[in-house]
Structure 1
Amino acid sequence: MGHREDLLEGAKRCLLEKGFVRTTARDIVKESGTNLASIGYHYGSKDKLLADAYVSLVEDLSGAFDPGAGVSKGVAPGSLERFQEVWSNIIRTMREPGSLWHLSMEIVVMGDKLPEVRDHLARAQREAGRGIIPLLMGGREEDVTDDDIDSVGMFYNTLMTGLIAQWTFDPATAPDADQLTEGLRRVMEAAARSAG
């Protein structure tokens, strides 16, 4: 690995151990075995490096969301069953000790102290919407339109952020996938009644 990759891996370890606010450039350098100048050269700033490290952590974890990670064969894309199983996979990652999702809440709460990290992650959130749509609705990521991202993707991102907040605040009362699915089913039924 080169310095760029070493820095990214070191920053990931620092984030999981200390979070965004408490991680210093010196922590990253110590953890990565590189030097301070490497951060600026490869990433421009410590905050940009931390944002990239967070995105990389989420990407590493996103395989656990995939329908193949626990979805029954034959579950139709876009169905309530698919919704339930994908969200069950996502929630499983929130239950794990040391869940990286706590870092998301740190950005929500402390984002004004880390504007470069917040801004970078806000842009990355759009791509997260592009990635989650095929998991739930089927299809290919490259076929997801901007309109899909601005509607369905934002709906799923909002659901994800709310879940992260609830699981961080009080895991004992946070909803599980069954509750989310039942809530969605009732909303869909009410919408169908009002349309008919």
Structure 2
Amino acid sequence: MGHKEDLLEGAKKCLVEKGFVRTTARDIVGASGTNLASIGYHYGSKDALLTQAFVALTEEWGANAFQGVLPGADGSLERLGAMWNGVLAQHEESAPVWAASMEVVLSGERLAQLRGMLAASQGEGRRGLISLLTGTPEEELTERDERTLGSVMQALLNGLMVQWLLDPASASSAEEFTEGLRRLAEALTASLRGGSAGEAAP
């Protein structure tokens, strides 16, 4: 590998071990066996490199969590449950990545540039989640799809991972999380039909 690839691998290692806030440029240099000048030359800044490393780690996590074709019909509860199963099966490996992202979310203006870079990558993640659930190719999805269904899917994923980061013992299982979403959908459907939430299936 060249310096660019070495830097990315070193930054990924640092993110997993130290997170965004505690990782320094010298940490990355030490982990990659490169030099400080290489960071600016190949990535522009340490924050830009860490952002690329974070994106790469999430892509690797997604590839491991959603290997092959997920079972169930497009848009079905079975497919949704399979998604959450894949997510939670990789919990231990992905926990440092999610913890690092929480650092950025809670950093306020201290990591403004990094927050902006990660925010800009959200659309790709939302489109990927929609495609996994519905089977629709990402290139066919609209901005409206991304900002509605994609946003909700992303919020569900983030919320589930926060539960597992905070306390795995009390966090929902994939089956429980899917059942909760089914019950919510049934309650909302009942209200639209003029019924009450209490009429939804238990």
More moved, 104-113 vs 122-131: 104-113
Give yes or no for contact 1:25–1:36 (8 Å, CA) kept in 2: yes
Residue 36 of structure 2 aligns with which residue? 36
Change (3 A) 1:164 1:112: farther
- Could you list the per-position Cα deviations for residues 118-148 of structure 1 after superposition, in whole angstroms to 9, with x for gaps in the alignment? 1111111111001111111112111111110
Residue 121 of structure 1 aligns with which residue? 118
TM-superposed CA distance for 1:98, in Å, is: 5.5
Residue 85 of structure 2 aligns with which residue? 88
Residue 106 of structure 1 aligns with which residue? 103
More moved, 103-112 vs 180-189: 103-112
Runs of 4 or more, structure 1, over 3 Å off, are 95-99
Give yes or no for contact 2:8–2:53 (8 Å, CA) kept in 1: yes
Which AA in structure 2 matches 1:85? A
Partner SS for 1:159: helix
Partner SS for 1:63: helix
Gaps of 5+ in 2: 194-202
More moved, 167-176 vs 99-108: 99-108
Residue 15 of structure 2 aligns with which residue? 15
Residue 167 of structure 1 aligns with which residue? 164
TM-score (norm 2): 0.89
Give yes or no for contact 1:105–1:164 (8 Å, CA) kept in 2: no
- Could you list the per-position Cα deviations for residues 93-127 of structure 1 after superposition, in whole angstroms to 9, with x for gaps in the alignment? 22448542221222222253222211111111111
Change (3 A) 1:103 1:179: same
Identity of aligned residues (%): 51
TM-score (norm 1): 0.92
Gaps of 5+ in 1: none
Change (3 A) 1:98 1:90: closer
Distance 1:67 1:184 in 2: 23
